[in-house]
Structure 1
Amino acid sequence: MLKSLFAGVSGLQSHQVAMDVESNNIANVNTTGYKYSRANFSDLLAQTKSIATAPQGELGGRNAVQVGLGSQVSSMTRIYSQGSVQNTDKNTDVAIQGDGFFIVSPDGGNTYKYTRAGDFKFDSGGNFVDNGGFIVQGWSRDDETGVVDTSAPISNINIPPGLTTPANPTEDLVLKANLNSGPVVESFAPAYEVATTSTGDAVDTNGRVISSGDMGVMYNESGEALSLQDSQGVWASFKAATLPQGAAVAAGAVALDTTFTLDDGSTVNVTSAAGPATNTALNNANAFMAAINAKSAVTGVVASVSTLGELTLRNENSNVTAAHNINFTDNTGTSGIASGSSVTAYQYQYSPTSAVYTENANKTFTTIADLRAALQAQARADGGAANGIEVIVNEQGKLEISNTGTNATDDYDVNFRVTAISTAAITENTRFTSNMLALNTVIPAGSAGKAYSQAFNTATHSASIDVFDSLGSKHTVRMEFRKTSVDSATGSTWDMVVSVPAPAQIDTIAPLDEKTGSVKFNSDGSLATFNPPNISFTGNNGSSPDQQINLRFGTTNAFDGMTSFDSPSATSGISQDGFTGGDIVGIRIDQSGALIGSFSNGRSFALAQIGMAKFTNNEGLATEGGNVYAQTANSGDPIIGTAATAGRGFIQSSALEASNVDLSTALTQLIIIQRGYQANGKTITTSDQLLQTLIGLKN
């Protein structure tokens, strides 16, 4: 009978403990990061009245007869299920989604405590602390390397109030861009920026001669590629070829027999039969003129007759299909014109490999500078070295011819004519011809008149970015690219000019504020090479001199930087790693737990990173109040690392993890515990009544 009393007492005690546990759960229903607990019941040792026996013969076995002695709370289980994450308006609040604990220390890292409550803040000393003043542990940014090393031991997170970041001079300038390789471009510029009128050489504002580049890759004013091929070009003349009047043609029965040698070396024979013996010199001259002019479409030669019967031959270089030179032979000596040769036009032919512009001979050119020099040389040769004919390339990229000289000996009236080179072997380049045809005009000697071609343009592209010196001062670096050549086998080449505004400098030779180089591409549009790989920047403002800035244009034979495809030239990305000094204006926390500082200079970078611990057995941790846990022998050692790695959860900023207590479940559990407690109390009262009955038997 007494056993039932003690069993009831043990039941009351067990349920009282369970009530304490559940009451604590309900009390912490709004505690940040709280994990509820559960009381686990087990029975007490039972009294054995008879032991179990095995079957014997025909008699079956019997079970043991045991009477239990009550119950006990054998253990407590803390349930580490995820609590709901609630957003807050505080940027230093953090919640863990998943497994893991924040690490805090009350003594500078000598001992560690662990918590799921991420209600953190900065104290007056810049320490990152919880509500109990424990300092959050993690990793801080190294001032020298600028890196948060998460492989180092953890320590107190401290961000000094009023933190400033010093200026960081630019070390790398990264450019990603496409330079148009196509036959039509939208971005182009004149062949030259500035041209001098004294020598005709193209120079920039610093006096440096500008490389015009290969004319094979130039464009007209509509952005269409000239695409000059080897030997394409024009016939050009500064004055008409004339075989002047000689003696009058003989009178009487005189025949004409002449031979004209054409440009290609073939000959055309022009004849006129003898007339009657009564013919005058004028009659015969008119007959000869008619015979010569009948072949003008082939020879290019036009004859005229004076009133005295004198013949003049002239070639205006005005017929594309006709010969462009007079090369005349009188086979009978009766034409009245002395035999001889007078050249009216020369070939100006494109050659991608060599330029030859000898006076009084056919010429080749590679660049527009070559073409200008060839025209200038012939203009002077046709008159005299002292004549005032000048050929330049002006700032619009146009060939410009002027004739200002008044020297009676050397100067002459310019009658400039251009026709295309068009043969069975050479196809006319219509775009180049069109550009040159605009020069066709007459410019009298000593006049103010000028002749202009259409503009010769080059494909261009430019990009600019501000870089920073050691003082944090900004300087604009401008990169200009100009297409200069194409090789069908290897790819294209673009000249490059990198410049900075004075008084800064990036070169050791004048002009000091710019540096020239080139960028080459492979035939598939990938980057082949570029030069220079870096610039040596000096601000001349008190900052550190010879600041090395690396130019990062991409990987050789790859497409991760600069490319040259048949698509518009465009900059897809440009960046640099320098910045001026700044004061901290705010801190935010990312999913990895990094504390990102925002500074007044627009820069943001990690100042520290929150450490997280993971345990083999979370239930083995011991609670110490204040929302913190301590390591025990059964929890295992903490595995410390960053959030979202090795099974640790990720961090959500501006949020807190709520208690995982389910109030409806907790209240239901209260009812169950209450009924259990009442039932155990009933066991005691019933046992008491039985004892009363037993005692009453004596009476």
Structure 2
Amino acid sequence: MMRSLYSGVAGLQNHQVRMDVLGNNIANVNTTGFKKGRVNFQDLLYQQLSGAARPTEEVGGVNPKEVGLGMLIASIDTIHTQGSLQTTGVQTDLAIQGQGFFILKNGEKSFYTRAGAFSLDRDGRLVNPANGLRVQGWMARDVEGTQRIDVSRDIEDLIIPVGSKDPAKATTSVNFACNLDKRTPEIPENAGPAAILEGTWGTEFKIYDNFGQEHILRVDFTRVPGQNNSWQATVVIDPESPTPTRTAVAIGTGPTTPGAANTFTVNFSNLGTLAGAVDANGNASAAEGDVNVRVAFDVLGSTPGPDGQPLRQEFNINLGRIGSVVNTVTQFAEKSSTKAFMQDGYPMGYLENFKIDQSGVITGVYSNGTNRLIGQVAMASFTNPMGLEKTGENTYVVSNNSGLPNISPSGIAGKGKIIAGALEMSNVDLAEQFTDMIVTQRGFQANSKTIQTSDQMLQELLTLKR
């Protein structure tokens, strides 16, 4: 009789715990990155009234007689299924599509979360604004003038230096391509302006010096008289400037000192493809490969050197690859279209914006039109994510049964991809929770009836002597 009372009490207590978990799930139905809990029950100890007996020659076997002593909670699991993604449009909001956790730190203590509602603090650190925990990743490092991210290093705070400067870079290479019209007439001696204009193909392009000052590179191409497949190119820097800029052109190891010639000759094969170039001193390009012409000019406004001359800056004009027709200057019987299509210099700029891609790479966008790697968001995965301990504020910490974190970029070792401008919603299904609530309520009621009935039976027992 007493066994049923205690079984009913165990049922009441554990169904109440299940109701507590359901209530917590429903309370967090709109909590970013929340993962619902699930309660599993199991039966408790059994009191054996009689044991089992094996069959004999006369009779068969007898099963054991056991009376259960109630039930208890087997586990309270955290269900790490994917939650729906909600677009927010906030560039620092991050969601994980797939497995994995963001890594946050408070000093040296690490926390893990699926809630990516991040923002920047006053120092530019990417943080969780609710508690100040710092988002971890890898900052880009300058390696021989190129920004690189080394994900083999230890993780660190991510800092986005909004408003920082990107120093100016001088032009070192200008690429030319397209066609020079083979039908262009030669310019006769003593030709007038109209004839010179008709026989010349001119191009202009912006380049930059060490200070980020803009200059105009002008290159005029004219047919070499008496040579069907040769063009003379004249290079001028800032042609409209009232003060002429001294410009010199050379190929290979030819001199580009002040006073050197500013012309070179471009040669084509009978098939119309680039065959090479020769400077005014007879220095020729290699017989194969890319054709590069060195150009030097005075940087106005620079401090004169020991020789009293202003700083001179050099860059290459790349005419393309010999024998090729792709991104190369050619000579076919079509309208001239040769022009510079790319140069690698730029003025100084400020970091105006940044973007985060699916691999968590943070790229800065500067006012001078350049993009720079800033860093990459790190992710962690666990052998048993259900073994993580909840610490509140949408965070988890490592436990004895979760395994150690596997830290790497997204997309590696089973990690999902990062979606910027979105947040992961709770994975709580209200229909499921309400159904479980009904079942839990009925279980609680049934166990209370067990206690009531057992009490009535005890009352009947007490009245037997009357």
- Which residue does 2:204 correspond to in 1? 464
Mapped to 2, the partners of 1:95 and 1:605 lie a distance apart of 23
Mapped to 2, the partners of 1:171 and 1:55 lie a distance apart of 97
Mapped to 1, the partners of 2:160 and 2:142 lie a distance apart of 12
- Which residue does 1:514 correspond to in 2? 262
Query: What's the CA shift for 1:625?
Result: 0.8
Size of the aligned set, in residue pairs, is 433
Mapped to 1, the partners of 2:54 and 2:338 lie a distance apart of 93
SS of residue matched to 1:112: strand
From 311, 328, 353, the equivalent of 1:586 is 353
Distance change in 2, residues 1:134/1:462 (3 Å): farther
SS of residue matched to 1:586: strand
RMSD across aligned positions (CA) = 3.3
* CA deviation map 1:269-298 (0-9, x unaligned): xxxxxxxxxxxxxxxxxxxxxxxxxxxxxx
Query: What's the CA shift for 1:559?
Result: 5.1
Query: What's the CA shift for 1:492?
Result: 5.7
Mapped to 2, the partners of 1:584 and 1:688 lie a distance apart of 77
- Which residue does 1:137 correspond to in 2? 136
1:505 aligns with 2:247: yes
Query: What's the CA shift for 1:515?
Result: 4.4
From 194, 217, 227, the equivalent of 1:477 is 217
Distance change in 2, residues 1:648/1:480 (3 Å): farther
Distance change in 2, residues 1:577/1:76 (3 Å): farther
SS of residue matched to 1:682: helix
**Structure 2 counterparts to residues 118-197 of structure 1, below 5 A:** 118-130=116-128, 131-142=130-141, 145-151=145-151, 152-175=153-176, 177-179=177-179, 188=184, 190-192=185-187
- Which residue does 1:79 correspond to in 2? 79
Mapped to 1, the partners of 2:271 and 2:135 lie a distance apart of 57
Mapped to 1, the partners of 2:406 and 2:260 lie a distance apart of 58
- Which residue does 1:308 correspond to in 2? none
Mapped to 2, the partners of 1:678 and 1:658 lie a distance apart of 34
Percent identity at matched positions?
37
User: What letter matches 1:476 in structure 2?
Assistant: I
- Which residue does 1:655 correspond to in 2? 422
1:606 aligns with 2:354: no
- Which residue does 2:64 correspond to in 1? 64
Mapped to 2, the partners of 1:631 and 1:605 lie a distance apart of 35
Distance change in 2, residues 1:478/1:75 (3 Å): farther
* CA deviation map 1:626-662 (0-9, x unaligned): 1111122322222222234443222222221111111
Mapped to 2, the partners of 1:635 and 1:556 lie a distance apart of 61
Distance change in 2, residues 1:620/1:486 (3 Å): farther
Mapped to 2, the partners of 1:57 and 1:585 lie a distance apart of 93
Asked if 2 retains the 8 angstrom alpha-carbon contact of 1:171 and 1:577, the reply is: yes
1:631 aligns with 2:398: yes
Mapped to 2, the partners of 1:127 and 1:71 lie a distance apart of 50
1:539 aligns with 2:299: yes
Mapped to 1, the partners of 2:58 and 2:323 lie a distance apart of 95
SS of residue matched to 1:532: strand
- Which residue does 1:347 correspond to in 2? none
User: What letter matches 1:532 in structure 2?
Assistant: N
- Which residue does 1:296 correspond to in 2? none
* CA deviation map 1:61-111 (0-9, x unaligned): 33332222211112121111111111114222121222221111111xx23
Asked if 2 retains the 8 angstrom alpha-carbon contact of 1:85 and 1:655, the reply is: yes
Asked if 1 retains the 8 angstrom alpha-carbon contact of 2:268 and 2:331, the reply is: no
Mapped to 2, the partners of 1:84 and 1:666 lie a distance apart of 17
User: What letter matches 1:155 in structure 2?
Assistant: E
From 432, 442, 445, the equivalent of 1:675 is 442
Mapped to 1, the partners of 2:232 and 2:161 lie a distance apart of 50
- Which residue does 1:225 correspond to in 2? none
Asked if 2 retains the 8 angstrom alpha-carbon contact of 1:537 and 1:549, the reply is: no
SS of residue matched to 2:440: helix
SS of residue matched to 1:624: strand
1:596 aligns with 2:333: no
Mapped to 2, the partners of 1:650 and 1:682 lie a distance apart of 52
- Which residue does 2:111 correspond to in 1? 113
Query: What's the CA shift for 1:34?
Result: 0.8
Mapped to 2, the partners of 1:495 and 1:94 lie a distance apart of 57
Mapped to 2, the partners of 1:618 and 1:681 lie a distance apart of 36
Query: What's the CA shift for 1:20?
Result: 1.2
* CA deviation map 1:109-164 (0-9, x unaligned): x2321111111111112221102101111122335644141323221112345322
Structure 2 segments unaligned to the other structure (5+ residues): 239-243, 250-255, 276-287, 304-309
Mapped to 2, the partners of 1:14 and 1:529 lie a distance apart of 80
SS of residue matched to 1:32: coil
Mapped to 1, the partners of 2:57 and 2:331 lie a distance apart of 100
User: What letter matches 2:64 in structure 1?
Assistant: A
From 541, 544, 549, the equivalent of 2:315 is 549
Asked if 1 retains the 8 angstrom alpha-carbon contact of 2:268 and 2:330, the reply is: no
SS of residue matched to 1:499: strand
Query: What's the CA shift for 1:32?
Result: 0.9
Larger Rg: 1
Distance change in 2, residues 1:510/1:605 (3 Å): closer
- Which residue does 1:17 correspond to in 2? 17
Asked if 2 retains the 8 angstrom alpha-carbon contact of 1:125 and 1:161, the reply is: no
Query: What's the CA shift for 1:477?
Result: 2.2
Mapped to 1, the partners of 2:329 and 2:370 lie a distance apart of 30
Asked if 2 retains the 8 angstrom alpha-carbon contact of 1:162 and 1:583, the reply is: yes
* CA deviation map 1:218-257 (0-9, x unaligned): xxxxxxxxxxxxxxxxxxxxxxxxxxxxxxxxxxxxxxxx
Query: What's the CA shift for 1:605?
Result: 2.4
Once the two structures are overlaid, the 10-residue window that deviates more, 29-38 or 491-500, is 491-500
SS of residue matched to 1:147: strand
User: What letter matches 2:131 in structure 1?
Assistant: G
TM-score by length of 1: 0.56
Query: What's the CA shift for 1:591?
Result: 2.4
Asked if 1 retains the 8 angstrom alpha-carbon contact of 2:381 and 2:407, the reply is: yes
User: What letter matches 1:19 in structure 2?
Assistant: M
Distance change in 2, residues 1:509/1:116 (3 Å): same
Query: What's the CA shift for 1:473?
Result: 0.7
- Which residue does 2:241 correspond to in 1? none
Mapped to 2, the partners of 1:693 and 1:521 lie a distance apart of 118
1:26 aligns with 2:26: yes
Distance change in 2, residues 1:174/1:44 (3 Å): farther
TM-score by length of 2: 0.82
SS of residue matched to 2:22: helix
Asked if 1 retains the 8 angstrom alpha-carbon contact of 2:360 and 2:376, the reply is: yes
Query: What's the CA shift for 1:36?
Result: 0.9
Asked if 1 retains the 8 angstrom alpha-carbon contact of 2:209 and 2:313, the reply is: yes
**Structure 2 counterparts to residues 347-362 of structure 1, below 5 A:** none
User: What letter matches 2:68 in structure 1?
Assistant: G
Distance change in 2, residues 1:94/1:485 (3 Å): farther
Mapped to 2, the partners of 1:105 and 1:146 lie a distance apart of 29
Asked if 1 retains the 8 angstrom alpha-carbon contact of 2:292 and 2:318, the reply is: no
- Which residue does 2:2 correspond to in 1? 2
Structure 1 segments unaligned to the other structure (5+ residues): 201-391, 399-454
Mapped to 1, the partners of 2:169 and 2:342 lie a distance apart of 14
Mapped to 1, the partners of 2:436 and 2:123 lie a distance apart of 46
